[in-house]
Homo-oligomer: A and B are copies of this chain.
Amino acid sequence: MAEKKKRRRADSDSNSASQPFKNLLKSDAQILQILKSVTSSSSSSTSKPLTLADLALSSTCREVSDLSLSSVQSTIESLVLQLTHQILSGQGFSFIVPSRSSSNQLYVPELDRIVLKDKSTVRPFSHISSVRKTTITAKILSLVHQLCLKNIHVTKRDLFYTDVKLFQDQVQSDAVLDDVSCMLGCTRSSLNVIAAEKGVVVGRLIFSDNGDMIDCTKMGMGGKAIPPNIDRVGDMQSDALFILLVEKDAAYIRLAEDRFYNRFPCIIVTAKGQPDVATRLFLKKMKMELKLPVLALVDSDPYGLKILSVYGCGSKNMSYDSANLTTPDIKWLGIRPSDLDKYKIPEQCRLPMTEQDIKTGKDLLEEDFVKKNPGWVEELNLMVKTKQKAEIQALSSFGFQYLSEVYLPLKLQQQDWL
């Protein structure tokens, strides 16, 4: 009892004037009302997403799609049959492989993502420069065919170890795996080759993982690990009003412990730094199935924006798969360069940008996906001009719970995202 009293006293202490803008906060009910209007307009506006075909680009650009395991299997079998005919008719053994080089990539503003153009190269067996790569390609096709028959998932590392002598190092088997995706016209996850899992999710989401129903409101503070294989994820249900995409662990932990998703119904997801394929696929699936706005909480530095862009428009080396990996229309909630002054982040919690940071920032200003959003350009210009950056954690200078108790609620109330 004595202890209880002590705690209460401490609580009221902390709600002091040292937390800027706390006085601006409306009631939770009012903020929820604001969010509901946003969500309903967002989900109604989500018409059928544009495709390459809509833009009459399907003949000059190439994208892969999710294929069922049996389609992958029969595509491989048709390809092998075709190769056999080719050999029997005296034309020799060669693969036609789509080029994945950067000269064959294109940013399509209407789609807001990078896609692959239609250039291909011939990979003949009977040439000294390509005989090894052709053999590797045939081996990878045969391994993927095995995975189809067995219906199991393996990692890229597993693939590599099936024939170290042939592949020599994993870079070679990985590269050909991407080639095979392009050749078959399917996503890498359709090949049942998966990357290590890294992300976690918590909040107002129910989904099935390999047949087990998972309720993410009942996952404690640790949350649910995002499954490495998206094809066994399904049955998504949610009463959330938005998805909160968090760059890093520390902020995720704060929000999970405070059960922020119970105060403002949302789904909180993080890849703990660089986005991995599993988290990107999971986010995309949530956005598509639940039609919720995605708000991103990242550090105020060029890498924060870069991470946001990987979720949003894809990374260059997997551009052939951008349609499946990218989540359109992610909003930049914070921490934005203009927030540093607006929220009076103390000088000592801001960090000077290094030369490399500034260069990365300037490079981003040249990217099409930044340019098309004037608000982002303005923010990024401010960052490069002030040469200051700040982590999400900088908000802790106003108290450990400032993030969940003032900053985020106020952002939501003011619909302050770009």
Contact = CB atoms under 8 A, between A and B. Distances in A.
Contacts of A6: 73, 149
Q: How many copies does the complex hold?
A: 2
A210 to B, nearest CB: 4
A149 B401 CA distance: 13
B196 A220 contact: no
A222 B222 contact: no
A28 interface: no
A200 interface: yes
Contact of A150 (B10, B393, B396): B10
B227 A222 contact: yes
Contact of A393 (B153, B161, B221, B257): B161
A58 interface: no
A396 B219 contact: no
Contacts of A152: 257-258, 400-401
A281 to B, nearest CB: 12
Nearest to A202: B225
B221 A224 contact: no
A94 B223 CA distance: 43
A225 B222 contact: yes
Contacts of A395: 161
A158 B400 contact: yes
Interface in A183-221: 194, 196-197, 200, 208-214, 218-221
17 contacts: A7-B150, A11-B149, A152-B258, A153-B221, A155-B249, A155-B250, A157-B391, A158-B250, A161-B393, A161-B395, A164-B348, A196-B253, A197-B249, A208-B220, A214-B219, A222-B225, A224-B225
